[in-house]
Amino acid sequence: MSSPTPQPQNTAPFAEVPRSAAQASSWVDDNWANWLTSGLRILLIIAIAVVLRSVVRKTISRLIERMNRGAEVAANTALGGLLVNAERRRQRSEAIGSVLRSVASFLILGTAALTVLSVLKINLAPLLASAGVAGVAIGFGARNLVTDFLSGVFMILEDQYGVGDVIDAGVATGTVVEVGLRVTKLRGDGGEIWYVRNGEVKRIGNLSQGWATAVVDVQVGAGENLDRARGVIAAAADDMAKETPWDERLWEPVKVLGLESVAADSVVLQAQARTMPGQAGSVSRELRWRIKQAFVREGIEITGGPGTVVPAQAVTVEDDAPAAAAERTGGDNE
């Protein structure tokens, strides 16, 4: 009886191992140079981007600091203190610097990221298409935020208003406390704080730019000598313009324009003066005070106060009293 023939063992996988290892080694030998070159290029791109970003940000910060120092020096002079608001300049320059630093960082780092992806031979077309779709979706979802930000940027760049200005923003009126890229903070006349989104501001009335006009209406009796009253008002205004601090707040002589209105028992004389921005209220109050004192000294009557109302019952009793007395007298005589 013959013995079974032994079957040959399958050694093909083990035989392929040396060949696969040789191929892998050959593949590594063929590509390690490319890997090394790509890695060094990526490191160089990142290093250049980091250094360039740091240099640009420091340069922008130094320019902003120089602008702030110039504003502080100008504010310390005699005339500069009236024309330059150091805090306004500082906040405006800081906001502009923040925008410039953010834009510079985005451009430099974004360019570096795209360059690294191109070095890695990654197709950028799908990524850019996806980024475009995502940008559109974010734009629709955060359109109010984008509108606030862009409005704030243009308000700051155009210097429409700044810290210390009194503005009428439509939705609120007050003194500007802080100007941001998204929100402007106002303090109202009653001390309240208004937070106004820049995107909600459709029109702005700045009451603190250029100059202001102080208007004073003086109501005198219809029988008064108008030329005399006009001269007294002009004299009081001239005396005011020679005293401190009104000599700086008044930018032009006070003008008595003439009659503003005429009534049966009174007339209104109007005076106007061009003043520093934001000082029209204080100038008007001081001028009224001086005109009142001058009229008292000159004996000129100021009308327009509330009249005395006599009750109808009192008038009736007063009118009937003589008749009643006559009746009593007649009865006694009879």
Q: Summarize pLDDT for 134-162 with one digit per residue, the tens.
A: 777 776 767 788 888 888 888 887 888 88
pLDDT of 31 above 50: yes
pLDDT of 207 above 90: no
Same domain, 196 and 235: no
Asked whether residue 19 is assigned to any structural domain, the reply reads: no
How much is the mean pLDDT over the chain?
77
| CA distance linking residue 276 with residue 83, whole number of Å | 9
Alpha-helical regions (H) of 250-311: 280-298
Does residue 13 have a cis bond before it (omega within 30 degrees)?
no
Asked whether residue 246 is assigned to any structural domain, the reply reads: yes
Same domain, 45 and 100: yes
Q: Which domain holds residue 221?
A: 212-298
Asked whether residue 199 is assigned to any structural domain, the reply reads: yes
> Which domain CATH number covers 169?
2.30.30.60
Phi, psi of 256 (to 5 degrees): -90, 105
pLDDT in tens, 166-197: 888 888 889 888 888 888 899 988 889 999 99
Residue in the structure block whose two tokens are 């006599």: 310
**Final residue belonging to a domain, choices 70, 96, 129:** 129
| CA distance linking residue 1 with residue 249, whole number of Å | 134
Same domain, 234 and 202: no
Contact 198, 178 (CB under 8 A): no
Same domain, 33 and 125: yes
pLDDT, position 186 = 93
pLDDT of 114 above 60: yes
Contact 106, 56 (CB under 8 A): no
pLDDT, position 307 = 35
pLDDT, position 108 = 92
| CA distance linking residue 95 with residue 162, whole number of Å | 11
Asked whether residue 177 is assigned to any structural domain, the reply reads: yes
**Final residue belonging to a domain, choices 186, 206, 226:** 206
pLDDT of 20 above 60: yes
Same domain, 219 and 266: yes
pTM for the whole structure: 0.54
Asked whether residue 89 is assigned to any structural domain, the reply reads: yes
| CA distance linking residue 125 with residue 118, whole number of Å | 11
pLDDT, position 300 = 87
What is the number of structural domains in the chain? 3
Asked whether residue 138 is assigned to any structural domain, the reply reads: no
Closest CA to 299 of 216, 224, 219, 231: 224
Q: How confident is the model at residue 240 (pLDDT cuts 50, 70, 90)?
A: very high
Asked whether residue 61 is assigned to any structural domain, the reply reads: yes
Contact 198, 182 (CB under 8 A): yes
User: What is the full DSSP assignment across 102-163?
Assistant: HHHHHHHHHHHHHHHHHHTT--HHHHHHHHHHHHHHHHHHTHHHHHHHHHHHHHHHTT---T
Same domain, 224 and 159: no
